Chain A
Amino acid sequence: MNNHTEIIPDATPEMKTLFETVKKVSFSTAEKNKQRETLRLYMHTPIPAFIQDDPFNKDTNNSVNYPVLSPFFPQVNFFHSLLTQTRFITFALALVLVVGTGTAFASKNALPGDPLYRVKLNVTEKAETLLSFGSQSQAEIALLHATTRLEEVETLTAQGKLNIRTSTIITKELQPNFKTQADSVTANVANLQSKGQAVVAAEIASNFESFLSSHQVVLVELTQHQENAPIHPSTHTFLRAQSQNEIYNKTQNGVRAGTQNTIQQDTSSLVVASTSVTSTSVSVEVLSSLTGEVGTHLLTTANARASAEGVVAISTDQNKIKESSETALVVSIQKINLASSAVAHAISTIRSTTASSTESEQSISVAQSRISSAKEDVSAGQTYIQTGEYGQAFLLFKKASRTADEVKITLEAIDGIKNIEKKNSKANTGDVPKEDKNLNLNLNTATTTGTSETATTTAIESDPAHSSLITSEPTMIVATSTAVENLNTDSFR
């Protein structure tokens, strides 16, 4: 290729070595393949480069989404333009200011089926994603969103609101969103690792793994309860120790075994096991499908975590790995303490309720045994530290942290579900007149307390004179004043 007739000076052998060394600055095969894929995608994207589905006009009844031109009008790379061109940042900030103060705040606790749920998914969380820069913060925000999705389903199920309408929303919006967020976590973790930030990558993947594995346990349990008692979901108790153990062991074996094949086999059997549960109702089907999705991502995350931890553990930089393992030790002890106090809290909850079942006691003993196994890991890790095998110590501390995290998250999730169910059963047996139920739901009060006292306060707050000030929305006035009338008659009855 080169034209060698040109006169060029000779380089000394040492210089030639130098030039060869410079060539070591290159992309890894993985990086190259990733870039290649991005380019291939870019090549097949029609100009203007980035077309997206219109987030504000998503029609769930009609599966066709009409593409619109992205309002950000990217020139090269959307995220890069965001970073380099200040007007986009201004735009994003303006959006957050306008939407962020009112609606978005109100949408924060929205569940599938609530009017603001779509705002939460498509505006609030999208804005959060757009405003996070760098792989680490993007991974963290995606992790948060993914776990929020799972918690939403759990809350919804516990509230007994899992009906055909909300199920459709879960399948069509929640689950795809969960998948997107989980994929984003995986992608960003891989990115961090390829940039040499294996410690951070391992940390995030490890956290995500704990979340997924704990919520998988909770979801499986909820599914079984839906099957057994689809009418009265509020009667169920703590996790069955047996199933928790079973799932835990399966996942752990798969992850610990290390080889790709074993992991795949194990988790695919897990996925099959959770999806092949005989579906007695739509809700069971929905929950199983979500559990399967969680299982798939759990596998991916466990792989990513193992790979990132492996990179840290075999690092040749002794000081760095020593530092990492010492941090991991401190973190694992903190997490074990947190998990222990969660167990203590669970025990006190059981004692305070009269209906303490053997199931809940079993689940506590499982939690306790897992905490002691985490403690064993920590002390084994400390022995490794003394012998200078920091890599091994790091892996053990991380494992202990994860175990403790899983115990804590699982107990907290169950506790949350139980609380909701308690409130629900109170609301159901409470003295709220039937004809008021609809109204109360609209005003969002009966769902939390269901007593007529709160109804009165609401009635006072939404004074008819005040509501008549709203002139632009005549239907709203009618609705509000009717509501107030109903409330008044009810509360003075």
Chain B
Amino acid sequence: MDLVMNLLRTGWQDSLWMEKNIVFLKQKYDNEFIAVHTEDVLAHDADLDKLLQKVAKKGINPSEVLVEFVSKVPKIL
């Protein structure tokens, strides 16, 4: 499959997975950054630099994961 199409499809799946599980994710990782990869939380940390290091230590380039900040406090942006 075309690389761009493959990335769009897997990225959309991860994004939709995150939205579907957002209540659970907020409960478990309140005020933390999470790295999502193939519909799972690969790593989490309150410090973004440390999170990216954790992802790299797992042998995955941090640019290949979805990184979001989750908090029980509602987002305006």
Q: Do A and B bind each other?
A: no
Give the A-binding residues of B (Cβ under 8 A): none
